[in-house]
Amino acid sequence: MIVILDFGSQYSELIARRIRETSVYSEVVSYRTTAAQLRQIAPKGIILSGGPNSVYDDQAPACDPEIWELGIPVLGVCYGMQLMVKQLGGQVERASRGEYGKASLLIDDPTDLLTNVENTATMWMSHGDSVTQLPGGFKTLAHTTNTPCAAIADDQRHFYGVQFHPEVVHSIGGQALIRNFVYHICGCEPTWTTAAFVDEAIREVRAKVGDKRVLLALSGGVDSSTLAFLLHQAIGDQLTCMFIDQGFMRKYEPERLVKLFQEQFHIPVVYVNARERFLAQVVGITDPEEKRRRIGHEFIQVFEEESNRLGPFDYLAQGTLYPDVIESANTNIDPKTGERVAVKIKSHHNVGGLPPNLRFKLVEPLRKLFKDEVREVGRSLGLPDEIVRRHPFPGPGLAIRIIGEITPERLDILRDADLIVRQEINRSETYHQLWQAFAVLLPVRSVGVMGDQRTYAYPIVLRLVSSEDGMTADWSRVPYELLETISNRIVNEVPGVNRVVYDITSKPPGTIEWE
Ligand code: XMP
């Protein structure tokens, strides 16, 4: 295993994902993790991540200096390299010119860490400070025009540092560098594979659950579906899958989901029709956060009632993923105080996002996995592409895509418009290039003309975005013809809509959903 000490970089998780892509298990832990704790974890290598601070800030986060005595190879990335240099007696200074964006790596020593990395390879840089003097025992492996020490090594003690970010996709040869560190320097074995994970997860679930019953709230997304497959394989009919229909799903989705699971996958699903109840909760509510709160609350109510009716259950299965359990996920370190801060933009409600005080014990077999690994596991268990590659869909569903008040009429309009968006996206084969594609209904009306008649009806907003992870996103430059077809069909086929507009806002400053 490789452990990443997180100093607050937005890329810490990405480093872990890149390492796992080499079939080696990797975890992100706080920079405060002590050398004694690391000795317990016994990783084959340690990576110090980047971070927003300067090593000379008053509150700059630092690692336990005992780490240098563990005898474990260390790779410092950006801030991590500067910290290594400072702690081991070298010098870091504010550079006269920072380096941001792509830079050409000029290799001085093409051995170990830089094996198979081409001279002049493009690497992604983002730093204001630079190393100006190496600690004893270190040598320079590579430089760039602006940065004399772009890659450094003490190959006796197996300490390495890179000023650039090998983990980002723009760094050509970055993955080769990571492989060199993981395999040649740390001596890891490629044991982190989907098949090995599935075997172990099944064994662990069986050992934990014994002959007890497990309840799972199925949403139809890739996480809960993969969980259902995994648990069904592990414990068969000790598993009960419950699907709560809130009435905010896309057109035909609830029926399709239940049919798929029952008839094709032979996994029984208890279908709970709670449409009226949820609608009653949101009538007259226009505030986005209040909508989310009410829907989340109602979900828990229904869930409790139904689990009492169907139970008793000892365990609740949750599709918790690794980014949810990393203590530092989605937080930043305040440069002034050194404390972690997280800014709440929206309170996400997830299906299965239940409060911890329910009386169940939890089974969370996916908690070590990143999303792309869940997809691999799902695929290996036989989940069809239709689910494995499905776009994300928010827990509150169409309720947060009707801006303002939700009414049955508006739900019907949005469902019909949204179905057309999906049909045309599928037909044009752009589905897999997009992160999400959907319609939003605005609570205003505008004037139009159809035939010789004046119309006064709602506009539909098309939101088609590309993204890597949902944290940032860009509006998609799909062909005008596709937009035209969607617009024509919606205006002609969906009564109550007379105008279609295209949202050309990136995230940030917009968010993907409108509420
Ligand atoms: P935003 O709108 O914050 O969305 O840019 C980022 C991603 O999260 C999804 N999203 C949600 N998912 N419950 C969810 O399960 C929610 O309440 C929720 N709100 C937004 C959104 O669809 C996008 O993929």
Q: Is the pLDDT of residue 451 over 70?
A: yes
Q: Which two three-digit tokens encode residue 135?
A: 């600690």
Q: Is 442 exposed, middle or buried (0-12, 13-18, 19+ CB in 10 A)?
A: middle
Q: Is the CB of 246 inside a 6 Å radius of any atom of ligand 1?
A: no
Domains and CATH numbers, the chain: 2-185 (3.40.50.880), 194-388 (3.40.50.620), 401-502 (3.30.300.10)
% of the chain beyond a pLDDT of 90 = 85
What span, in angstroms and rounded, lies between the C-alpha atoms of 10 and 167?
Answer: 11
Say which amino acid occupies 158.
H
Q: Tell me phi and psi for residue 303, to 5 degrees.
A: -60, -45
Q: Which residues, 6 or more positions from 200, have their beta carbon under 8 angstroms from its beta carbon?
A: none
- Tokens 């005008």 correspond to 480
Instruction: State residue 330's pLDDT score.
Output: 41
Catalytically active residues are 78, 165, 167
Q: Is the pLDDT of residue 271 over 60?
A: yes
Q: Which two three-digit tokens encode residue 107?
A: 């290799």
Which residue's CA lies nearest to atom 9 of ligand 1? 394
For residues 477-497, give the mean pLDDT.
Answer: 98
Instruction: State residue 95's pLDDT score.
Output: 78
- Tokens 């505030």 correspond to 287
Q: Is the CB of 446 inside a 6 Å radius of any atom of ligand 1?
A: no
For residues 96-114, give the mean pLDDT.
Answer: 91
Q: Is 264 helix (H, G, I), strand (E, B) or coil?
A: helix
CA atoms within 13 A on the CB side of 12: 32
Q: Is 386 helix (H, G, I), strand (E, B) or coil?
A: helix
CA 465, 469, 472 angle in degrees (round to 5)? 60
How far away, in angstroms, is 487 Cα from ligand 1 center?
25
Asked whether the beta carbons of 160 and 113 are under 8 A apart, the reply is yes
For residues 338-346, give the mean pLDDT.
Answer: 51
What span, in angstroms and rounded, lies between the C-alpha atoms of 72 and 384?
Answer: 42
Q: Is the pLDDT of residue 488 over 90?
A: yes
CB atoms within 10 A of CB 102: 14
Instruction: State residue 348's pLDDT score.
Output: 67
Q: Which residues, 6 or more positions from 10, have their beta carbon under 8 angstroms from its beta carbon?
A: none
**ipTM value greater than 0.95:** yes
CA 214, 220, 223 angle in degrees (round to 5)? 65
Instruction: State residue 325's pLDDT score.
Output: 80
Q: Which two three-digit tokens encode residue 62?
A: 């630092």
For residues 102-118, give the mean pLDDT.
Answer: 95
DSSP letter for 182, please. I
What span, in angstroms and rounded, lies between the C-alpha atoms of 14 and 4?
Answer: 10
Confidence of residue 10 (pLDDT cuts 50, 70, 90): confident
Q: Which of 299, 461, 513, 514 to mutate to test the pocket of ligand 1 (most atoms within 8 A of CB)?
A: 513
